[in-house]
Structures are given as C-alpha cells and as structure tokens.
C-alpha cells in the first residue's frame, strides 16, 4: 500500500471517530506506524499536520451540525466534539471569525456566496421548491475505484478532467460519483475532502477501491451548469434537509452524474443524501 493509500486509511479513521477523543498515537496505531513516521508521511501527502487536521475537521463538522440540527443547543454540539462551552466558542471563533451563535444566525439568510462567483451573493431556493422534486429511493451498493481530492471545491472540474484523461478504464457505461465528507461552504481555507469515483465492472487491484453503501437516499435531480451545482446543493442540505422529517444517517453526501457535456459545462446529475 503506497503512502497516499495509507494516509487515506488514516483519514477514514479520523472521519469515523470525530465525536471521540482522537490522539495522533490512536491514528498512527491503526497503521502500525510510529507517531514520528506517521506525522511525517501525513504532512508529506496532505500538506497539513495531523493534529491541526483533526482539530479543523472537528470544528467543520460542528459547523455542519449547527446548520442541520437547528434545535440542538450549541453547548451540546460543542460537547459532542469534546469541547467545553468556553473552549468551543473560542475555537470556533478562531476558525470562522464568528461565534457559534452568530454563525447559526447567519444561516437564516436566504443568500450564499458561491466559490465560482465570489463577488456575488446567490439566492437559495425555498423548501417548497426542493420538496416538489425530492424523491426517496433505495440505492444498491456501488463498487467504485476512487481518487481522494483534498483541496478547493472550485478545482473539482479540473480534478475530474485530469482523472478521466489519465484512466483508460473509463467508458460509456462508467458512472462518475462524488462522495463528499465535508461541506465546501464551511471547509476552512478550501480544504474540501471529496472522493472522485468511477463504478467498477471488474476488480482493479492496483487502485484504491471501496464500496459505497446503499440504502435509503433523498435524491434531488439537477440539470444545469457546473458552476450552479454548489448553490443548489447548499440549499438541499441547508434548506430542505433541516425542514424535512429526515436526518442524515451517514456523514457524507453523493453526487451521481448521469450526463456530462464538458465543452459547455452542462451536467445532469442526482444529489443524494443518505437519510433515515
């Protein structure tokens, strides 16, 4: 297993244990490495120290909880990630320049900043707009090959283009899927975590593979420009999900592409939230 695959494994462990105390030793032990060697390898692959990575993800996930769990007390959200009320408020403000309470209030706005149009505030659709199109569907498990992107959401298109170009197993039957582990709107300094996935018809041993678990998903079909996906997806998570009767059963979202016109930046896709 190469360094990137090993670091991906460590990130998977961190993501699965964000609501627990996580030490660098805990993570290094998962790979049977010394703390020193693991820290060097992690920094080499991600450009970020292990401790700062864990701390950042805890704060970012708490920001998502503030968005999705509107009735949950801020103190309780902080406690979920191991922080006292005062420590949580200070840490959150250090990252976002807003207190958790002010951040939650800011979510009441009906506009959002789009990384593709940084000078423009875009209006989000209403709950009723989403409700007309959202369907609940049962999805099967998906066997995929994937490349993990750690970077700016706005670079997603170029990352896909490079990945498609370098992989010869892509054909007309291949389905392209994005698996998001954090919210680009709250990712600090553009640190989005997203797996770019291709469905597999046969096993490819030398590549990173995984199974995306099936089950019940809330699905919103989208047709339009690539640059507008961000706005629509933010509304799906920020407007529709908290006001619906459903909760996320996993801490990720999927984008399943049905049609892509690279030349005109036009796509047809399904935005999928695992719900219960």
pLDDT digit string, tens, across residues 183-193 = 888 887 778 89
Domains of the chain: 3-106 (1.10.10.60), 135-274 (3.20.80.10)
154 or 223: whose pLDDT is higher?
223
Question: Which value, in Å, is the radius of gyration of the alpha carbons in the chain?
Answer: 19
Mean residue pLDDT across the chain: 90
Q: Please report, rounded to a whole number, the percentage of residues in the chain having pLDDT higher than 90.
A: 69
Give the separation between CA 126 and CA 171, rounded to whole angstroms.
Answer: 37
Q: Check pLDDT > 80 for residue 117.
A: no
Q: Check pLDDT > 70 for residue 170.
A: no
Q: What is the dihedral of CA 151, 196, 1, 46, to 10 degrees?
A: 0
Q: Check pLDDT > 90 for residue 132.
A: yes
Pairing outcome for strands 209-212 and 215-225: unpaired
pLDDT digit string, tens, across residues 87-96 = 999 999 999 9
> In the predicted model, what is the mean pLDDT of residues 7-32?
94
Task: Identify the H or E element spanning 13.
Answer: helix 3-16
Give the separation between CA 238 and CA 183, rounded to whole angstroms.
Answer: 10
Question: The tokens of 171 are what?
Answer: 């054909």
pLDDT digit string, tens, across residues 41-69 = 999 999 999 999 999 999 999 999 999 99
Region of residue 61 (left: phi > 0; alpha: psi -120 to 50; beta: else):
alpha
């Amino acid at each position: 297993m190469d360094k990137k695959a090993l670091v991906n494994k460590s990130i998977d462990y961190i993501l699965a244990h964000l609501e627990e105390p996580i030490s660098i030793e805990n993570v290094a032990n998962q790979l049977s490495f010394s703390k020193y060697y693991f820290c060097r390898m992690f920094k080499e692959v991600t450009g970020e120290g292990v401790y700062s990575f864990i701390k950042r993800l805890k704060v970012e996930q708490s920001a998502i909880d503030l968005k999705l769990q509107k009735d949950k007390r801020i103190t309780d959200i902080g406690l979920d990630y191991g922080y006292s009320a005062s420590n949580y408020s200070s840490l959150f403000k250090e990252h976002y320049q807003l207190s958790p309470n002010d951040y939650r209030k800011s979510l009441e706005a009906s506009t959002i900043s789009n990384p593709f149009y940084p000078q423009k505030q875009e209006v989000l659709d209403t709950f009723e707009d989403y409700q007309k199109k959202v369907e609940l569907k049962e999805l099967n498990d998906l066997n995929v090959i994937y490349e993990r992107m750690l970077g700016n959401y706005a670079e997603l298109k170029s990352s896909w283009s490079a990945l498609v170009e370098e992989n010869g197993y892509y054909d007309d039957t291949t389905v392209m899927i994005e698996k998001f582990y954090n919210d680009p709107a709250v990712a600090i300094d553009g640190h989005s975590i997203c797996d770019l996935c291709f469905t597999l018809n046969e096993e490819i041993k030398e590549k990173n593979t995984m199974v995306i678990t099936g089950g019940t998903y809330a699905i919103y079909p989208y047709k339009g420009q690539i640059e507008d996906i961000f706005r629509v997806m933010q509304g799906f998570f920020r407007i529709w999900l908290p006001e619906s009767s459903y909760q996320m059963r996993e801490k990720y979202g999927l984008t399943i592409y049905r049609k892509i016109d690279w030349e005109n930046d036009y796509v047809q896709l399904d935005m999928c939230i695992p719900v219960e």
